Structure 1
Amino acid sequence: MSKVTLIATAAMGLESIVANEVKNLGYKDVTVENGKVIFKADFQAIARVNLWLRTADRVKILVGEFRAESFEELFEQTKALPWADFISKDAEFPVIGRSVKSKLFSVSDCQAIVKKAVVESLKKNYHIDWFEEKGAFQRIEVALHKDVASLTIDTSGAGLHKRGYRYLHNEAPLKETLAAAMIQLTNWNADKPLYDPFCGSGTIPIEAAMIGQNIAPGINRSFAFEGWNWYDQKWIDEVHEEAEDVAKYDQPLYIIGGDVDHTMIELAQNNATEAGFPDALRFKQIQVSDFSTEDENGVVIGNPPYGERMKEKDYVEELYRQLGRVIRPLETWSVYIITSHPHFEKLYGAKATKKRKLYNGNIKTDFYQFWGKRPRNK
């Protein structure tokens, strides 16, 4: 089986986590750049990484990369790429684009030129003059950065954060990919209790359950590549069989989601059921100030409101104080909170062991990590 160059795109700050996931799947030739992880693999990897990557946004095939400072260069070099190796003659292949710090700054013109060049290339290979484009969806992207053009084909379809379980959510949902990254940045494992005091629609508890039972995040959804007539169904079947073989459905979970809003609790429970965890997770309506536990150690992971709106500021700051008063005495528990509030540590009442910059959508946040003490030996 020949090799292909794949690009796993990532939100800013998550590139190293995505790279580790790629390496853990067995792919060694990995390069990390801003917003993306590039690696070479066999064609079956398209199915495997789409199924397993928890923190990447999507997976693309890199068809070619070259310098292009004129429309003629863009056309000729695009035309010379092996498009017929990837795009079938009945495929629907729209072109999207972007341009940053490049002489070819008109994105619409670049898209039109790439489309024309791809058509000319396919005409030569398929010996036809007209493409109806009524078949499988194969979206091409031309991305120009400092006069270097990258031509890719998207293999994922819908973004990888769309696992298929969250049909409804709250107003400002945490992306599944970011929730999974937050969990992977903690010291949690399935043998420890996990508590999310701001669970909303249940994303953090559900992602933790999938990690705890080693369930592939894409197991219940479809991908664009599955409709491509050249992509071998055997590769897809083998990857799904692998995922079933390594899943630990019998792994007990002690995961609790709390929220002050009873409608969120109902929503979280519905999403957990859709994800395949109707009874494994617990959700309850609770004020932060009412939380208590007799467990000697565990992990708190939370995405509280940030107080971005002025009318919420006082409420949010008091919420952070309450969180500190309740959680700080649990010395052997580790606490991980994401927020954009600049004074979270002061309000919480402790300095974080470690902080990490992350982006929640377009909001720049800090991921505060308070590491708990080692529990006493029993």
Structure 2
Amino acid sequence: MVQPGGSNPKALERRIRTHIRSRVHRFAATAPKELIGMCRRELEKIGAKVVEISEAGVEFEGRLDLCYQANLWLRTAGRVLCRLPAFRAGAREELFAKAAKIPWDLWLPRGVPLAVEAYVIRSRIRHTEPAAQAVKDAVRRRLEEAGLEPHFAEDRPREDFPSGPAEAGAEGFVQRILIRIENNRCVISLDTTGPHLHQRGYRLRHTGAPLRETLAAAILQRAGWDGRRPLVDGMCGSGTLAIEAAWMGRGAAPGRKRCFLFEKWPSFQEKTWLHLLRKAEEAVDRSVELRIVGIDRDAAALRIAADNARRAEAAADIRWVRAPFESFRPGDHGLSGGLVVLNPPYGVRLSGGDMEMYRRILRHLGKHFAGWQAAVIAPVREFLSDGGVRPDRIWKVRHGGLPVHVGFYRLSSR
């Protein structure tokens, strides 16, 4: 049997340098359609060349280090995929033959379970199962020829993959190989991220039905949060909005506290990654004086939020107040002219929502937050306009597969 990856380590390194590291690749930052514009701006900010908006999200090009940066810096994306060169596949045999030519031993991580998923539309190959099996067989043949033993994860639904280090595989990772065949054209993509990008690494506990960090960051961006004015998270729960605000206010990279799947790849450039992490730490603006208050009536929720903030190194930026939001008056705390964000309990936490609760919230905003801006999340659009104040705009977005509505307000003085 040959030595894994080639005849010797130097030969493997040369092949990786030639076929992977030295080339410009195409990537996709996946995002819900409502977040694509923000995701695009984030990519352009790190110098990515955006080439297309697709069904998956934002397509961009660059070398592998750009993929590292995207995972490190994107606040609103779900994950980053690496696109392999497309090819025609009009039959299962053709798909197998062409997939078997891909140098899988240079791409796939050692010791990490592989999961192959297929999506087929308007093609001679009509079903996902034979398409997935053809690529799986091609991967197995190529790896075995290289002296490697492939391990495939059990087939699971598309979104039912491990979400954290304790759940499966080597350090919790599963290498997803995604196949899309449309009009007989095949694109194979490799997940570079691992657990979804909303899993920043600081929230180990939550208070039930938590807001995803990616959506929290998107709401703050839509509200124009920049760290220069006060922010009140009026029903903070596990502290997600307050912590995301602290990170955004200081310019902290959202991926700097977690691990990524690309770190397991044979092509991983550790020195490059450590350099990017150092640059990210240097970019944190520690001179900013943030005025962030997290409020909740539940003492247990505040303890969880404070623990999460400590893990996020944001404890010094957030003041926690135990109180019902309806009793909080910003002037009593020396705060004025800021942003108040509210994620009231709804859905799982409060079946069907509570219109009267929203009326109380909106009346309190109108009475005590004059001169502020507000962003309020609701399961039903009508809840956002029934308390004496009306939103300037309402943003409909999906969260956890369900639509939610975010009302943005400018609260004028009476």
**TM-score, structure 1 as length reference:** 0.89
Amino acid at match of 1:306: Y
Deviation at 1:361, TM superposition (A): 1.0
Say whether residues 1:332 and 2:371 are aligned partners.
yes
Matched, 1:94 2:133: no
Shift of 1:49: 1.0
**SS state of the match for residue 115, structure 1?**
helix
In structure 1, the partner of 2:340 is: 300
The equivalences for 1:206-355 within 5 A come to: 206-294=243-331, 295-306=335-346, 313=353, 316-329=354-367, 330-355=369-394
Question: Take 2:238 and 2:47, find their aligned partners in 1: how far apart are those partners?
Answer: 33
| 1:199 and 2:217 correspond | no
Task: Check whether the contact 1:202–1:271 (CA below 8 A) recurs between aligned residues.
Answer: yes
1:106-154 Cα shifts (integer Å, max 9, x gaps): 4333222101123334566x3x4x5255999643222345654321111
- Unaligned segments of structure 1, at least 5 residues: none
Give the CA deviation at 1:76: 2.8
Post-superposition CA distance 1:161-216 (Å, at most 9, x none): 11111111122011111111111111222111111112110000001101111111
Between 1:256-265 and 1:37-46, the stretch displaced more is 256-265
Amino acid at match of 1:347: D
Match of 2:46 among 21, 25, 28: 25
Note the 1:139-218 alignment, pairs <5 A: 139-145=176-182, 148-218=185-255
- Distance change >3 Å, CA 198–CA 131, structure 1 → 2: same
Give yes or no for contact 2:143–2:150 (8 Å, CA) kept in 1. no
Q: How many matched pairs?
A: 368
* 1:46 alignment partner, one of 64, 67, 83: 67
Instruction: Give distance in 1, aligned partners of 2:363 and 2:187.
Output: 51
Distance 1:60 1:123 in 2: 25
Q: Give the C-alpha shift of residue 100 in structure 1.
A: 5.3
Distance in 2 of aligned mates of 1:287 and 1:146:
56
- SS class of match (1:139): strand
RMSD: 2.5
Residue 80 of structure 2 aligns to a residue whose secondary structure is strand
Question: Counterparts of 2:298 and 2:373 in 1: how far apart (Å)?
Answer: 25
Deviation for aligned residue 1:7? 1.1
Deviates more, 1:215-224 or 1:28-37: 28-37
Question: 1:19, 1:30 within 8 Å by CA — same for their partners in 2?
Answer: no
Mapped to 2, the partners of 1:107 and 1:184 lie a distance apart of: 38
Q: CA separation in 1, counterparts of 2:348 and 2:242?
A: 24
Q: Distance in 1 between matches of 2:90 and 2:113?
A: 24
User: How many percent of aligned residue pairs carry the same amino acid?
Assistant: 30
- 1:256-307 Cα offsets, whole Å, 9 max, x none, are 1112222111111111111112232112222122121123300011221235
Given that residues 366 and 411 in structure 2 are in contact (C-alpha distance below 8 angstroms), is that contact kept between their aligned partners in structure 1? Answer: no
**Please, what TM-score do these two structures have when normalized by structure 2?**
0.81
Could you say if the C-alpha distance between residues 100 and 249 of structure 1 is closer, same or farther in structure 2, counting changes exceeding 3 Å?
A: farther
Conserved 8 A contact 2:117-2:176: no
**For 1:56 and 1:307, how far apart are their aligned partners in 2?**
24
Measure the CA separation in 2 of the matches of 1:44 and 1:310: 44
Q: Distance in 1 between matches of 2:364 and 2:34?
A: 30
Per the TM alignment, residue 310 of structure 1 is displaced from its structure 2 partner at its CA by 8.2
Comparing 98-107 with 332-341, greater Cα deviation is found at: 98-107
Output one character per residue of 1:31-51: Cα deviation in whole Å (capped at 9) or x when no partner.
Answer: 222331110011111211111
Given that 1:15 and 1:33 are in contact with CA atoms closer than 8 Å, whether structure 2 keeps it comes out as no
Contact 1:96 1:140 (8 Å CA) reproduced: yes
Report deviation, 1:227.
2.0
Which letter maps to 1:5? Answer: R
Matched position secondary structure for 1:320? helix
Equivalent-residue separation in structure 2 for 1:146 and 1:364 (angstroms): 31
User: Which AA in structure 1 matches 2:115?
Assistant: V
Once residues 212 and 166 of structure 1 are traced to their aligned partners in structure 2, the CA distance between those partners, rounded to angstroms, is 19
Deviates more, 1:199-208 or 1:332-341: 332-341
Which residues of 2 match residues 55-70 of structure 1 at below 5 A? Answer: 55-70=76-91
Asked if structure 2 preserves the Cα contact closer than 8 Å seen for 1:50 and 1:59, the reply is yes
CA distance in 1, matches of 2:403, 2:28: 24
